Amino acid sequence: MTGVDPFRHHPELRGKIRPAADSFFRDMDLDLIDARAAEAGRPGGWRTPCDVREAARRDWLEGHWNRDLWVFGYGSLMWDPAIEIAEIRHARCSGFQRCFCLWDVGGRGSPQQPGLMLAIDTGGTCEGLAFRIEAENLDHETFVLFRREMIASVYSPTWLKLETALGPIEALGFAADRTHERIVPDIPVDEQARMIAGASGPLGTNFDYLSGTQAHLKLLGIVDPYIADLHARAHALRSPN
């Protein structure tokens, strides 16, 4: 990696993004995750086999191995990307919007009290962060990224056109795969808030995930009315009367 500061465009984010080495997702232990899933009563075969995921990763990156890669973060990737990055840019994506539509029974939810996680789904716009991976690190960093994002095939890797202050870029993003049974795009916002307010799992509470998203959007000066409204509703449900 070069000696160029990845925070040079956004010094206000220094100390706000978890270093890759400190991330749970950097060296994620799938055997431990499988054991926790079994203890929670999840059926076998819930996640994508490693060889299938790896073959899909290599197919997806065909023709891109010798160049730097941009990755779009719109949720927890914004503060915990788990990858070594060479550059960060504030980015805007047209044609996709945030949506708490991923039914979660194993990360920040449980089979007894499911939660919801973010995806981007078609329509609207979405602002977030773009992270650049240098070509020399592409193989390992995308291995880490796909193991995290594609542990189950709920997302569809998608090439996105992003606008940044330094010009347009193409980036890899993970959008909702509407063919997957765990993608439920039409949950009323009141029900989303109720689920998020009460759910928790091995990775923490669902509300903390929503709060982290809202906090980092605010830090970036990004106004997402959907996230702000959902956060207010979930917070009200958690607050004593």
- Residue 37, domain extent: 11-105+117-185
Residue 142 included in any domain = yes
CA 177 to chain centre: 14
Q: Examine the pLDDT at 239 and tell me if it is beyond 90.
A: no
Number of domains forming the structure of the chain: 1
Which residues are registered as beta bridge partners of 88?
131
Q: Read off the CATH number of the domain in which 151 is found.
A: 3.10.490.10
Question: Which residue, among 74, 131, 129, has the nearest Cα to 97 in the 3D structure?
Answer: 74
225 part of a folded domain:
no
For residue 203, what pLDDT is reported?
83
Residue 69 binned pLDDT confidence (cut-offs 50, 70, 90): very high
Nearest to 20 by CA among 77, 100, 98: 77
- The SS3 call for residue 174 is strand
Residue 32 lies in a domain: yes
Q: Residue 106 pLDDT more than 90?
A: no
Residue 1 — very low, low, confident or very high, per pLDDT cuts 50/70/90?
A: very low
pTM (predicted TM-score)? 0.91
Region 106-125: mean pLDDT is 92
Model pLDDT for residues 156-191, shown as the tens digit of each residue = 999 999 999 999 999 999 999 999 999 999 999 999
Q: How many CB atoms lie within 10 A of CB 145?
A: 23
In a domain, 198, yes or no: no
Active site residues: 149
pLDDT in tens, 125-149: 999 999 999 999 999 999 999 999 9
**Is 131 part of any domain?**
yes
